[in-house]
Structure 1
Amino acid sequence: MAIYVDADACPVKAEVEKVGTRHRARMFIVSNGGIRPSQNPLVETVIVPDGPDVADMWIADRAGPGDVVITGDIPLAAKCVEAGARVLKHNGEALSAANIGNVLATRDLMADLRAADPFRQGGGKGFTKADRSRFLDALERELRRAGG
């Protein structure tokens, strides 16, 4: 079992390390730079070259059954779900074969709406303490299910 974190703009890296360490899971913190490496021997910081979706491709090529992926990137989540990995968004929402189709469709619809209205700004919710708490509970649950 491994935990893969799409680390660019990830607000829960410390929480992943805390819970992952308790489960003695190997963790891969993947980004294209700007992340301070952890001293934790279970954590491997992976710096990928700059480029569109390079970190996503690195994770998608490796994640599979028994692994947990942390990402807010819906296309990456879909690839990982298809490969058999368990996927969590930063707010604790689990993405699975049962819901990834709807989540992808909603993402595409929202992208179309934003493209149709170039003056539309933001619209995303801020990350809250409740989101962090939900994430911690969800990660604990997923690691137990994955066998960690």
Structure 2
Amino acid sequence: MQIWVDADACPTVIRELLIKASQRTMVPLTFVANQPISVPPNAHITSLQVSSGFDVADDEIVKRCSAKDLVITGDIPLAAEILAKDGLAVNFRGEAYDKATIKATLTMRDFMDQIRASGERTGGPKAFSAKDKMNFANQIDRLLAAR
């Protein structure tokens, strides 16, 4: 198992949890972003900077991801591509994406995009909380223990 992180939008607290988990379990961890991401000196932890552009980091993750790899992302289309490759995908709040529900999740995402494009104000996601951090940490621990 390798952990890939869609790091452009990754909260710092999640980045720190992933670094600790990788150091503890020695599971390879790679942050992929279109900007430099500093990582501690560790043979299992790397940062990959890609060029700027729409979905460049996502495309690089899809290209490099193998079956059973874990991708951390808030990007639902990226999660769908990872699931299609038999990988695992988890968002920053610790919610695992699932093959059985990813189409419905994509449909809802597209529907909300259409509503926002029509000028409707839909609000945004709720603020990242301590409970979200705990849910993420618990989910990562479960996935790493099951590998």
Aligned length: 145
Runs of 4+ residues over 4 Å off in structure 1: none
Q: Distance in 2 between matches of 1:65 and 1:86?
A: 8
2:98 aligned partner: 96
For residues 52-71 of structure 1, give each alpha carbon's deviation from its aligned partner in whole angstroms, at most 9, with x where no partner exists.
Answer: 10100000111122211000
Q: Higher mean Cα deviation, 52-61 or 12-21?
A: 12-21
2:142 counterpart letter in structure 1: R
Q: 2:68 aligns with which of 66, 69, 88?
A: 66
SS for the counterpart of 1:87 is strand
Structure with more relative contact order (C-alpha pairs < 8 Å, separation 6 or more): 1
CA shift, 1:121, in A, is 6.4
CA shift, 1:144, in A, is 2.2
Q: Distance in 1 between matches of 2:125 and 2:96?
A: 19
For residues 29-74 of structure 1, give each alpha carbon's deviation from its aligned partner in whole angstroms, at most 9, with x where no partner exists.
Answer: 0000142233222111000011110100000111122211000001
> Unaligned stretches of 5+ in structure 1?
none
Q: Distance in 1 between matches of 2:47 and 2:37?
A: 8
Q: Distance in 2 between matches of 1:135 and 1:127?
A: 11
Give the TM-score taking structure 1 as reference length: 0.92
SS for the counterpart of 1:30 is strand
Give the TM-score taking structure 2 as reference length: 0.93
For residues 5-52 of structure 1, give each alpha carbon's deviation from its aligned partner in whole angstroms, at most 9, with x where no partner exists.
Answer: 000120111111111222210011000014223322211100001111
2:89 aligned partner: 87
Q: Distance in 2 between matches of 1:58 and 1:36?
A: 19
SS for the counterpart of 2:48 is strand
2:2 aligned partner: 2
> Unaligned stretches of 5+ in structure 2?
none
